[in-house]
C-alpha cells in the first residue's frame, strides 16, 4: 500500500512539477505585479498622520500621456490640510527605474487640494507613485500603486 502511494505520488508529481515550473517561468517572463497589490487611490500615510487621496486627470491612465493629478490631504480627524509641502516621485519597482518626468505641485487649490502637473508613465506595467507630505502634524509618506 505504501509502495502504491509512493508510486502514485511520483506519477502525479510530474504534472504538478510541470505546472509549478511553468507557473514560475510565466510569472518571471510576464512580471505581473504582486497579486495583493493595493490599488486604492485613497489611503492613510505610512505613520498614519494624514489621509491622502489622488485623482488622476486621465481615466484610464494611458502610457506616455503627460497629465495632472489632484491630491487631497486631510488630517486624522478629517480636516483639510492647507499649505502642505508635497514632493512627488515614483518608478517601476520591478524594473528599478524612476519616473520619466519630475512632477511638481503647480497650484494650491485650497480645502486641502493640490494640483500636481507633469505625471507621465512611459511603460505598461506596475508603477508606484510616492508622495512626501509635510503638514501641520509633521512629515509623512504614502505610496500609491498603478497598473497600466
Partner 1 sequence: MRTSTAILSALAIGSAAAAYWTLTKPQTWTEEETRLVLSLGLASLPPLPADPSNAVADGPDAASLGKALFFDTRLSANGTVSCGTCHLPERQFQDDLPRAKGVGETARRTMPIAGTAYSPWLFWDGRKDSQWAQALGPLESAVEHGTDRAYIAHLIGVHYADQYAALFGPLPTLDAVPDHAGPNGFGTVLDDWLALDDIQKDAINRVFANVGKAIAAYERTITPQPSRFDAYVDRLAAGEDTSGILSGQEEDGLRLFVGKGECTKCHNGPLMTDNFFHNTGVAAVPGLPDDVGRSLAVDQVLADPFNCLGPYSDAEPGDCAELKFLGKAGHEMIRAYKPPSLRGVASRPPYMHAGQIATLGEVLFHYNTAPAAPDGHSELAPLNLNSAELAALEAFLGALDPIAKEVQR
CA-only gyration radius of the chain, Å = 22
Closest CA to 76 of 103, 53, 48, 97: 48
Q: Binder to partner 1 among 41, 66, 109, 128 (CB under 8 A)? A: 66
The minimum distance between CB 49 and partner 1, in angstroms, equals: 27
The answer to whether the CB of 94 falls within 8 A of the CB of 34 is no
Is 34 a binding residue for partner 1 by CB under 8 A? The answer is no
Is residue 12 involved in binding partner 1 (CB under 8 A)? yes
β-strands 85-92, 113-119: how paired? Answer: unpaired
Cell digits of residue 102: 519630475
Judged by CB under 8 A, the stretch of 63-71, 74-82, 127-135, 137-145 that binds partner 1 is: 63-71
* Pairing relationship of beta strands 126-135 and 138-147 according to DSSP bridges: antiparallel
Q: Is 103 in the site for partner 1 (CB under 8 A)?
A: yes
**List of residues contacting partner 1 (CB under 8 A):** 12, 15-16, 18-19, 22, 26, 29-31, 63-64, 66, 95-104, 117-118, 120, 122-125
Amino acid at each position: 500500500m505504501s509502495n502504491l502511494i509512493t508510486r502514485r505520488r511520483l506519477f502525479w508529481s510530474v504534472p504538478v512539477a510541470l505546472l509549478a515550473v511553468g507557473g514560475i517561468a510565466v510569472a518571471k517572463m510576464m512580471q505581473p505585479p504582486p497579486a495583493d497589490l493595493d490599488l486604492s487611490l485613497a489611503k492613510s500615510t505610512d505613520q498614519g498622520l494624514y489621509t491622502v487621496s489622488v485623482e488622476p486627470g486621465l481615466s484610464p491612465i494611458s502610457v506616455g500621456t503627460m497629465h495632472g493629478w489632484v491630491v487631497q490631504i486631510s488630517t486624522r480627524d478629517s480636516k483639510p490640510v492647507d499649505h502642505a509641502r508635497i514632493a512627488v516621485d515614483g518608478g517601476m519597482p520591478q524594473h528599478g527605474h524612476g519616473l520619466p518626468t519630475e512632477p511638481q505641485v503647480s497650484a494650491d487649490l485650497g480645502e486641502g487640494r493640490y494640483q500636481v502637473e507633469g505625471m507621465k508613465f512611459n511603460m505598461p506595467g506596475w508603477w508606484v507613485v510616492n508622495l512626501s507630505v509635510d503638514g501641520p502634524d509633521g512629515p509623512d509618506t504614502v505610496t500609491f500603486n498603478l497598473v497600466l
